[in-house]
Structure 1
Amino acid sequence: MTNHIKQLNSLSQYKMQLTDLLDLCIKSGASLGFKTDVDKQQLTTYWEEINTQLQNRMFLGYFINNTLVGCVHYTRCQKQNGLHRAEIEKLLVHPQYQRLGIASALMHSIEREATKQSIELLVLDTQTGDKSEYFYQKIKYTKSGEIPHFVSDNNGVFFGTSYYFKILLPTSQINKTPCDVASLIT
């Protein structure tokens, strides 16, 4: 079994795998911007739109034996005063392959790629109380707050959204001195 992470510069050949992956994650309870009754065509359209925006994104796929089982991407801020930051979007791992370290590997890889692009701040959001909150805290993301009543499910039940960030080491400090990024925050 061969496992590898690959940067995807086009999603065209992976569109159906990404659609199925997103659909499975949504149906397993992940809050990913869609309700569980979403039509697969809407998910395919989502990936087609993302594919047209890859010039402002870093997109990584996790493959096992050439099958896409996970992905993550970020969108770099386009504001002149925000070029140092990016927003993590759609960290997905096929339910059958969860809890095997794939999400951690994807996040560590995207953080390395961000640092190479002089991105020093990553931000993300997730449903408050979801298992993903524990995951992000475990990989050293800091919760900055939450907004209640932010998203709803198929039954009209509302949930809050929590916001997280991580300050990355500037490229100039990588491999020079081991330190905890939290110590850089003053």
Structure 2
Amino acid sequence: MTDTATLAPSIRALTSVNDAHIWQLADVLIDCVEGGASVSFMLPLTRDRALAFWQRVGEGVARGERALLVAEDAQGIVGTVQLVIDQPENQPHRAEVSKMLVHRRARRQGIGALLMQAAERLAREAGKTLLVLDTSSAEAERLYARQGWTRVGVIPGFARLPGGEPCDTTYFYRSLG
């Protein structure tokens, strides 16, 4: 008998976002914020706010403005990353990586790396040659550096952690050309 909890998660792009996806994505977002991730939300993050956020993301996916990748295991969605494809007309060659989130129960299993690799593949398929992102997490910084991203610099006190404490933000880019 195979233990499904030990199977590698699958990564896929959602071409449409339904209520079940939104509910599971909200679980991941709430877990990350409660775990201290600086991802634009403050504590307490209510389920209604999390659901509304993912509804808006789903609308952006439907309009083709962004791609939404998810990592799933036997229990459902455990991670996600977005690729903001719709950029100003003088920047058609680039995309922004946004909201790379992994539920705490699924961390340290390579899910972040798999999500980033899938985002890069999707960006290449969309004709993008440059990706950018920002992060406030030292753990995420290590992930991006291992994936070949170039650290540009740090803005001290740029954002706040979910509990209100200021945190630095580090910017990265990756050339796909």
TM over 0.5: yes
Q: In structure 2, what is the Cα distance between the partners aligned to 1:36 and 1:155?
A: 6
SS at match of 2:36: coil
Q: In structure 2, what is the Cα distance between the partners aligned to 1:147 and 1:62?
A: 30
* Residue of structure 2 aligned with 1:11, choices 4, 17, 24: 17
Deviations 1:33-52 (A, max 9, x none): 11232222111110011111
Q: Using the TM superposition, give the Cα deviation of residue 138 of structure 1 relative to its aligned residue in structure 2, in angstroms.
A: 1.2
> Using a 3 Å threshold, how does the CA distance of structure 1 residues 141 and 39 change in structure 2: closer, same or farther?
same
The answer to whether the 8 Å contact 2:135/2:171 transfers is yes
**Does 1:94 find its partner at 2:100?**
no
Highest RCO, 1 vs 2 (Cα 8 Å, sep ≥ 6): 2
Percent identity, aligned pairs only, is 32
The answer to whether the 8 Å contact 1:77/1:84 transfers is no
Aligned residue type for 1:73: Q
Deviations 1:76-126 (A, max 9, x none): 143222111001011111111111111111110110111011101110001
SS at match of 1:81: coil
> Using a 3 Å threshold, how does the CA distance of structure 1 residues 16 and 138 change in structure 2: closer, same or farther?
same
The answer to whether the 8 Å contact 1:5/1:63 transfers is yes
Q: Which moved more, 1:56-65 or 1:16-25?
A: 56-65
Aligned residue type for 1:69: V
Report 1:11-50 matches (<5 A).
Answer: 11-12=17-18, 13-50=20-57
Deviations 1:110-145 (A, max 9, x none): 101110111011100011x53111111111111111
Q: In structure 1, what is the Cα distance between the partners aligned to 2:105 and 2:113?
A: 16
The answer to whether the 8 Å contact 1:151/1:161 transfers is yes
Aligned CA-pair RMSD: 1.6
The runs of 4+ residues in structure 1 deviating greater than 4 Å are none
> Using a 3 Å threshold, how does the CA distance of structure 1 residues 4 and 157 change in structure 2: closer, same or farther?
closer
How many residue pairs match? The answer is 168
Residue in 2 that maps onto 1:174: none
User: Normalising to structure 2: TM-score of the pair?
Assistant: 0.88
**Does 1:53 find its partner at 2:60?**
yes
User: Normalising to structure 1: TM-score of the pair?
Assistant: 0.84
Q: Which of the two has higher C-alpha Rg?
A: 1
